[in-house]
Amino acid sequence: MSTTSDGTRAVRAGLPAPRQYEPTLPGPVFAAHFHLSGEPVGPYTYGRDTNPTWTLLEQAIGELEAPGERVETTVFASGMAAVSAVLLSGARAGDIVVLPDDGYQALPLVREQLEAYGVRVRTAPTSGDAQLRALDGAKLLWLETPCNPGLDVCDVRRLVAAAHGAGTLVAVDNTLATPLGQRPLELGADFSVASDTKAMTGHGDILLGHVTCKDPELSAGVRRWRKVVGAIPGPMEAWLAHRSLSTLHLRVDRQCGTALALAEFLSRRTDVTGLRYPGLPTDPSHPTALRQMRRFGSVVSFVLADKDTAERFLAGLRLVDDATSFGSVRSTAERRARWGGDAVPEGFIRLSVGAEDPDDLLADVENALAEAAR
């Protein structure tokens, strides 16, 4: 599959070899245990350890994360299960971990857990290379690029080179980009991690996550952690996720195209400030994004005058649901400050572009901006 292009790869990823009278994508295998006599060796023994539906999905994700390479993927019950598997499975008292201070808002909860275990946590913003000054003695550097919700981007290759020089492992949370937008392992990272609740599955109806590694030892640690904490996906979710991957390129291409059109439209508005989209040529992250990303994601962030204006804007949208999360085929937007935890102004909007017709979506946003101004 290494010579095929993104769309073809997504459509065929993880499919078993054709077998007469078998479906192209076998259905979900619901099993807590498998027939097993004699020595308890795999591939399928007990449902918390392995499941044939996960195996196919893990193969599919691996083919997208690192086409043509030997990698190991472990799927989890949610993005946070995948994030915690990398951050907590290898953590030992006295270790140093570097986290972004502008990443996903549940990271501070993991930080508290790490510190409770005696791990020292340093933080650095995503942009500006401040991570370089935090690497001394660190065991793991955690990057989230583009970061959620600020959409800053860091130079993964440069940070990996410095981190590996200092003996530090690097994990990249690739949720926003998906492997069609950015391939962290190709950029040198040791772990590519994602919440597949977002664009990977793309319909706003599944929670899922994954970790992909080249190094079998690192992968074994992650897989062991899944067994220990039991953060396993249900077979139905895993199967739906695999089915959804076959349209990943269609969804992501459409969403990225419309997101850029929306960002261009918003850049001409005087009632919008703080506009961010890494694909916009004028965005501060664009030069770095261009070097390492192939698609720039579905999320556009911007700031309206104040909380009330932002709430009127959200209420005025007809095609965009006021809801959290991102990456769905149905557009969503929210006033991010309502959660607390993100360092954003009260009028900060995170809008995730769906697969609607671009003209309809832009007209809806324009209309809601007019209603917000009343």
Ligand X SMILES: Cc1ncc(COP(=O)(O)O)c(C=O)c1O
Handedness of CA 196, 121, 162, 284 (dihedral sign): positive
Secondary structure (DSSP) of 47-93: TTT--HHHHHHHHHHHHHHSTTS--EEEEESSHHHHHHHHHHHT--T
Nearer to ligand X, 292 or 309 (CB): 292
**Smaller CB separation from ligand X, 119 or 147:** 147
CA atoms within 13 A on the CB side of 148: 23
CB 171 within 8 A of CB 86: yes
Of 339, 341, 247, 265, give the one whose Cα is nearest residue 302. Answer: 265
Q: Nearest approach, Cβ of 289 to ligand X (angstroms)?
A: 16
For ligand X, the closer of residues 86 and 162 by Cβ is 86
* Rounded least distance, CB 296 to ligand X, Å: 15
Q: Measured between alpha carbons, how far is 218 from 197 in angstroms, rounded to an integer?
A: 23
Q: Where are the alpha helices (DSSP H) in the chain?
A: 6-12, 52-65, 79-89, 107-116, 156-165, 216-229, 235-245, 248-267, 286-292, 307-316, 358-373
Q: Which residues bind ligand X (CB under 6 A)?
A: 78-80, 83, 104, 144, 148, 173, 175, 195, 197, 207, 209
Query: What would the two tokens of residue 252 be?
Result: 């992501």
Between 104 and 277, whose beta carbon lies closer to ligand X? 104
Tokens of 149: 């919700």
CB 57 to ligand X: min, Å: 15
Distance of CA 18 to the CA centre of its chain: 31
Cα–Cα distance for residue pair 162/367, rounded to 1 Å:
48
Least Å from the CB of residue 4 to ligand X? 28
Minimum CB separation of residue 19 from ligand X in Å reads: 33
Measured from the CB of residue 70, what is the shortest distance to ligand X in angstroms?
26
Shorter beta-carbon distance to ligand X: residue 208 or 369: 208
Q: Which CB atom, from 123 or from 175, has the smaller least distance to ligand X?
A: 175
Give whichever of 67 and 233 is closer to ligand X, judged by the CB atom. 233
Q: Cβ-closest residue to ligand X?
A: 79
Smallest gap, in angstroms, from Cβ of residue 297 to ligand X? 11
